[in-house]
A and B are shown apart, each in its own frame.
Chain A
């Protein structure tokens, strides 16, 4: 390892929750601790773009509420009361700058909160600040940010992954106890894998996109980035559920997940050789070791035959660029922020490709074909899940790469996310957890994904595996 290390084993969200409930610590003390951590480490990591100047005042308010309340139900109603959380900078936060890491929105102050933010605030959480990301979430390394790249706390010369790289780096460096990210295809799970933390992407539509700056609307999905699976469960229970402001949310209410519930017996878990072959040897080895742990604990590991994930690179690139060109058309300098000349090269490239695949003469050749291939991918997964309950595999083909690698390949993000793109295209839920480290001490991520709406099983298995690997 060549760069400086800034990782730190932090105190989990659930641990802070216990301490605050017992009166062992105040919300102000927690917020002050993280503000100090940010002051100490942000210059090197560039994980945060904005710090909420009102965070301490809000913590004081939370402390007053705790001391005044005589009701035992207070923490049932507000399970996150007094706990600070970091937010990716593409979620609208009322009165707090929201830039999507683009100069276009540098001075944009949203007049409203995203549903995710509303739900966190309702649960008592305090917004600590807004985290860095690839500009408009275009990338997988947080290097396309107009405000400079984020550095991986495991090695500052390496990228943290992306596009939610600031959120993942903040959690890994104990600059925040937990964070919120968003994913189109891998933007939560891949940075979580590269930074050795947990990243959970629910089924498309489980968490509202209202107030999330749109990238590719048929794929975008918010989710938590945390230190452990239990924290992810806590946040998922708060964030998920239908929202009248987002017509694409799933109408049925999700099951509240209880991690204490035992796993079903004879759990069948799939493993695909095609996925393993795309990962480097060190990464594939760690996945096989985790599979052995699962087998030892009674799970049945089965080989599953899945479509070549490389097909998904093409499908994803076409669909994502098409939706990007449409979604970013609104930034015309009249309604939001600055004019279009402020778009960075990556955004321009994506908008132009999207315009191309949607243009007359090419629509059928590219866009429509990609939508048909998307159906084929969905059906392929449906077939696979007739044989197994869940599938495991590497989250990313590699460990964290050096800063600067992305510039060498115009499809860098797509190739880095090749192992999560197929399940994202199908709208499936998935999680990335740490499953060890390579020789250089860099974290390796393992993904578990399942059929739509199988969050409960995924999270419970991930929680168990996390315990078994300790």
Chain B
């Protein structure tokens, strides 16, 4: 594993076909990302992944070309399911006395066994 962190700084101008856009500088920090993602990556994977991530992130600049994006609210669920939880309803339950009387409710194997 490389001990140093690789920095890939993207210049502020990208092109995709005829689309050209300005985006802020993007830093891809493979070490930091692999730490956050709880992944171990080899030195060769690190270089490969960082290059590919950069290429992919560059492509996202296409979204900057959509002028009216701020007019739209974000969509998290496409079929608009709402209020999926029901209201709590208290049901009948056994009394403490009854529960303690009936052993079967508490029949479990001991957690600690004698040696």
In the complex, chain B residues 24-65 whose Cβ is within 8 Å of any chain A Cβ? 24, 28, 30, 33-34, 36-41, 45, 48-49, 52-53, 55-57, 59-60, 62-63
A57 proximal to B (CB < 8 A): no
In the assembled complex, which residues on chain A have CB atoms less than 8 Å from the CB atom of B96? none
Interchain CB contact under 8 A, A349 and B53:
yes
Q: A340, A365, A376: which contacts B72 (Cβ < 8 A)?
A: A376
In the complex, chain A residues 48-81 whose Cβ is within 8 Å of any chain B Cβ? none
Q: How large is the interface on B (under 10, 10 to 19, 20 to 34, 35 or more residues)?
A: 35 or more
Number of A-B residue pairs, CB cutoff 8 Å, is 122
Interchain CB contact under 8 A, B55 and A352:
no
Known: A352-B53, A411-B59. A374 touches B74 (CB 8 A): yes
Q: A204, A325, A368: which contacts B78 (Cβ < 8 A)?
A: A204
Known: A349-B52, A375-B72. A318 touches B79 (CB 8 A): no
Known: A348-B39, A355-B36, A372-B72. A310 touches B81 (CB 8 A): no
B66 proximal to A (CB < 8 A): yes
Q: A203, A325, A368, A452: which contacts B74 (Cβ < 8 A)?
A: A368
A378 proximal to B (CB < 8 A): yes
Interchain CB contact under 8 A, B63 and A371:
no
Would you list 7 pairs from A and B whose C-beta atoms are within 8 A, ordered by A residue? A310-B16, A314-B63, A315-B63, A348-B49, A352-B30, A378-B75, A452-B78
Q: B39, B48, B74: which contacts A340 (Cβ < 8 A)?
A: B39
A188 proximal to B (CB < 8 A): no
How many angstroms between the C-alpha atoms of A378 and B73 in the bound complex?
A: 11
Q: Which of B40, B56, B68, B73 has the most CB of A within 10 A?
A: B56
What would 13 more interface pairs be, CB under 8 Å, given A311-B62, A317-B56, A352-B53? A317-B60, A325-B37, A345-B48, A348-B39, A348-B45, A351-B39, A352-B30, A356-B53, A371-B74, A376-B66, A425-B78, A426-B78, A427-B78
Interchain CB contact under 8 A, B72 and A410:
no
B90 proximal to A (CB < 8 A): no
How many angstroms between the C-alpha atoms of A248 and B84 in the bound complex?
A: 8
Known: A318-B60, A348-B45, A369-B63. A205 touches B53 (CB 8 A): no
Distance in angstroms from B62 CB to nearest chain A CB is: 5
Interchain CB contact under 8 A, B66 and A351:
no
Please give the residue numbers on chain A whose beta carbons come within 8 Å of chain B beta carbons, in ascending order: 203-205, 218, 247-248, 250-251, 310-311, 313-315, 317-318, 325, 329, 332, 340-341, 343, 345, 348-349, 351-356, 359, 365-366, 368-376, 378-379, 410-411, 425-427, 452
How many angstroms between the C-alpha atoms of A203 and B80 in the bound complex?
A: 12
In the assembled complex, which residues on chain A have CB atoms less than 8 Å from the CB atom of B1? none
Interchain CB contact under 8 A, B75 and A374:
yes
How many angstroms between the C-alpha atoms of A171 and B60 in the bound complex?
A: 37
Please give the residue numbers on chain B whose beta carbons come within 8 Å of chain A beta carbons, in ascending order: 16, 24, 28, 30, 33-34, 36-41, 45, 48-49, 52-53, 55-57, 59-60, 62-63, 66, 68-70, 72-79, 81, 84
Q: Residue on B with the closest CB to A453?
A: B79
Interchain CB contact under 8 A, B60 and A366:
yes
Q: A332, A345, A359: which contacts B45 (Cβ < 8 A)?
A: A345
How many angstroms between the C-alpha atoms of A12 and B16 in the bound complex?
A: 45
Q: Residue on B with the closest CB to A374?
A: B75
Q: B30, B53, B63: which contacts A370 (Cβ < 8 A)?
A: B63
Interchain CB contact under 8 A, A372 and B73:
yes
Interchain CB contact under 8 A, A332 and B38:
yes
Interchain CB contact under 8 A, A341 and B52:
no
How many angstroms between the C-alpha atoms of A266 and B39 in the bound complex?
A: 56
In the assembled complex, which residues on chain B have CB atoms less than 8 Å from the CB atom of A315? 63
Distance in angstroms from A315 CB to nearest chain B CB is: 7
Distance in angstroms from A349 CB to nearest chain B CB is: 5
How many angstroms between the C-alpha atoms of A175 and B77 in the bound complex?
A: 37
Interchain CB contact under 8 A, A204 and B81:
no
Known: A318-B60, A372-B72. A311 touches B38 (CB 8 A): no
How many angstroms between the C-alpha atoms of A355 and B40 in the bound complex?
A: 14
